[in-house]
Amino acid sequence: MKHFLNEPEKWVETDTLSRSLDLDISTVQRSVKKLHEKGILQRSQQNLDGGGYVFIYKIHSRNQIKNVILKIVQSWADRLGQELEQWENGG
Amino acid sequence: MKHFLNEPEKWVETDTLSRSLDLDISTVQRSVKKLHEKGILQRSQQNLDGGGYVFIYKIHSRNQIKNVILKIVQSWADRLGQELEQWENGG
């Protein structure tokens, strides 16, 4: 995550990341997958000359990340509001 | 706090609370003061026949408590939004 924040314009492969962070490739893959699912990283498919492809990742814009966070907080606040509503009505 | 939730319609003195909860009177006074400041308890002044008065406390309505909580969460979310705005603009 920190790596991506420091290099906001760079696309990177998990393989490169694994080497530069000295982390197991499966650890890196799990992490980028999660960050991609949560809308923090964008993913692109890079086709290889010999056929096949690798995924490359880059961080989303700060604006997009801000919106991801605000959306999570908003949905949490909405949920809390509903729970309190139930409690108010004697639930 | 639990005491007040269980007896939502009853006004009570700190002295009574202290005895029924078997807690030091100063502990009880500190607690009800905080809960009153935060808008959870309402306070009333009960004048004594011989002069002087004691404070009595009762919990606010669930509606009021709900609003207190939602207001805190809202101000926290607003604050987060501002911080993220700053971060977005390179702060």
Give the position of tokens 């606010």: B60
Tokens of B65: 């408590």
Hey, is B50 helix, strand or coil?
coil
pLDDT at residue A16, rounded to an integer: 92
Residue B9 has pLDDT above 90, yes or no: no
B87 and A81: CB-CB below 8 Å? no
The first and second tokens of residue A16, run together, are 């490169």
**Structural domain spans, chain A:** 1-60, 61-91
- Nearest chain B Cα distance for residue A85, angstroms: 7
- Looking at beta carbons, which residues of chain A come within 8 Å of B69? 80, 84
Measured between CB atoms, does A80 come within 8 Å of chain B? Answer: yes
Q: Which helix (H) or strand (E) holds B83?
A: helix B62-88
Fold of B1-60: Arc Repressor Mutant, subunit A (1.10.10)
Q: Does the model's ipTM exceed the 0.85 cut?
A: no
Q: In residues, how long is chain A?
A: 91
Any chain B CB within 8 A of the CB of A72? no
Q: What global pTM score does this model have? A: 0.73
Look up residue A58 and give its two tokens. Answer: 């880059």
**Min Cα separation A48/chain B (Å):** 35
B88–A contact, CB cutoff 8 A? yes
Across the interface, do B73 and A69 touch by the CB < 8 Å criterion? Answer: no
- Segment holding A41, helix H or strand E: strand A41-47
Of the pLDDT bands very low, low, confident and very high (cuts 50, 70, 90), residue B5 is confident
Contact assignment for B70 to A62 by CB distance below 8 Å? no
Please write the tens of the pLDDT for every residue from B14-56.
999 999 999 999 999 999 999 999 999 999 999 999 999 999 9
